[in-house]
Structure 1
């Protein structure tokens, strides 16, 4: 018998897949930003023992039904809402993700997005680059303070707690809402657990870091935005589908909120004509939460090790459905 076959759905640094190449025959989609076409993904899955996937790849029942040799699907992300985990579990296919290694990097980006939106950093940079800076004025591009304000974090997991830790350096009051209490964050960071509505009403910065589930899809609606302070800034670094984007556009248009910092969108990528981009008080990023060189290399290496471990009959380091291996 030859080596098992693994297909990688984007072009990742070759030095990050050495552990995988030691145990498997590896093929890779040659493009870094262009996603693998669906028909090619289905063809590759049909013969694959392992798939190294991205959030943009739909790994559904159709794909798994046509992949009789598939033993492991490993996502280059913490999230895995692109994978039908129940079908994978039923078929004894291990599903892996990449938690932990990207926590601090994503928290850095989330807080940077908050700061950039509050202090109008992108707008100010464009103001200079566009040659508009002619004189100094007392309120020239004046933003809003971050220190001593109230931050409300929706989703107090690893990344949420890391964002809260950064907020302590700004002497912020930290509120959070989560499916369950995070007593460690309460004890170590002074975070206060509150209801979702109370968080929305009291926070100067509402930061969404919740995973995308049936319960969180469209969590932020028009009704939600109208409960916020008129000066509140909404930050989303989780998943685009947790937000009703039409409602967010209306909230910005009608000045129900003070601004938004968005690293994610419902349908990605977005075009330059996306309606949310017309607002100067919106900072939009191309889903780069974990995008540092150090972290992306570490993520790729973790995905490679996870796949290699499963193919060798060992437990992966990070699995979503560990019950498959018993």
Structure 2
């Protein structure tokens, strides 16, 4: 069994922890409920011989509740967008002591309730940083070079097939000023990639200046300065009460008319109606979105009608290696929690 952390001492500690769970004399196997039938096989391989696994028959809330009813599980392996709330925990029962979420973010989990019930929580930061940062750059480049509009010209037969020097002009990322809202692990991964594109300046905002910012040559500024000076703005902050709907009409009014916004965080960071208006009115140049509100996006959404928007269906972490690593870390966090050990990546509640 491979250990993500890569530390032999921790590897031995994991095995010892697992042996305590599975081999204690007269001790029944703990039960883990996997709330998504598409979880990678690696998680099941890690759980094998150590815990009893019960898997939901579907991805939806109704299937999860049905699967939990009477199951008497000790831990929840949470994967997907279903809200983990009081109803879920009440159905699971009072014996639940551990939750592992196969995600970096945990806004879909009632953390206050977990804390009140003495339930520990682990997430999967860092292992998805590179995959999400890659999609962020994909969206930025696609939006800046008018990918959606160009594709529609091909499909509709309106491609100008002679040399017109002013047709389909986009924005350069080389020599640009880039703003990053939230210089956490993913924000830093984006900044590192931007270096290879020869950007002129990287700005960032957050609660405080970070040493990692200095290492990356990024400048800490306030939000207004970032909006006013940035050619590209990347949203990489978590969804909180503070960041919810932070990108509103006032936010977009302070951006450059040539500005491009990219969101790989959560759809709720953006007031979607305000974004649509800003795009339609030419208040900003374009947007690249991997996350929207709601998800899945309604088929009649105005976003789908706009040529200056590039959309991907929340696939930031969707690579085989990344999802396997996320499943692996989630399973190991759960086993550590069941064994009374600190998780590799615990969430402080």
Q: TM-score with structure 1 length normalisation?
A: 0.92
**How many angstroms does 1:30 deviate by?**
4.3
Residue matched to 1:288: 315
**How many angstroms does 1:126 deviate by?**
4.6
Q: Does 1:37 align with 2:37?
A: no
Residue matched to 2:283: 256
Inter-partner Cα distance in structure 1 for 2:274 and 2:96: 41
Residue matched to 2:208: 180
Give runs of ≥4 in structure 1 deviating > 6 Å. none
- Quick check: 1:17–1:300 contact (8 Å CA) kept in 2? no
Contiguous gaps of at least 5 residues in structure 1: none
Larger radius of gyration: 2
**How many angstroms does 1:132 deviate by?**
4.3
- Quick check: 2:57–2:64 contact (8 Å CA) kept in 1? no
1:55-204 alignment runs, 5 A limit: 55-66=80-91, 67-128=93-154, 131-133=157-159, 135-136=161-162, 137-172=164-199, 173-186=201-214, 188-204=215-231
Distance 1:268 1:45, change over 3 A: farther
**How many angstroms does 1:312 deviate by?**
2.2
Residue matched to 2:272: 245
- Quick check: 1:45–1:63 contact (8 Å CA) kept in 2? no
**How many angstroms does 1:128 deviate by?**
3.5
**How many angstroms does 1:41 deviate by?**
2.5
1:220-231 alignment runs, 5 A limit: 220-231=247-258
Partner-residue secondary structure (3-state), 1:90:
helix
Inter-partner Cα distance in structure 1 for 2:69 and 2:320: 29
**How many angstroms does 1:25 deviate by?**
1.1
User: What's the Cα RMSD here?
Assistant: 1.8
- Quick check: 2:204–2:220 contact (8 Å CA) kept in 1? yes
Q: Once the two structures are superposed, what CA deviation does each residue of 1:160-217 show, in whole Å capped at 9, x if it has no partner? A: 011111111122110000112112222x221000001110111011111110011111
Inter-partner Cα distance in structure 1 for 2:120 and 2:335: 12
Inter-partner Cα distance in structure 1 for 2:120 and 2:69: 14
- Quick check: 2:57–2:63 contact (8 Å CA) kept in 1? no
Partner-residue secondary structure (3-state), 1:81:
coil
**How many angstroms does 1:91 deviate by?**
1.1
Contiguous gaps of at least 5 residues in structure 2: 1-26
1:214 pairs with 214, 231, 241, which one?
241
- Quick check: 2:32–2:51 contact (8 Å CA) kept in 1? yes
Inter-partner Cα distance in structure 2 for 1:288 and 1:88: 28
Q: How many residues align?
A: 318
**How many angstroms does 1:236 deviate by?**
0.7
Q: TM-score with structure 2 length normalisation?
A: 0.86
Partner-residue secondary structure (3-state), 1:266:
coil
Distance 1:45 1:6, change over 3 A: farther
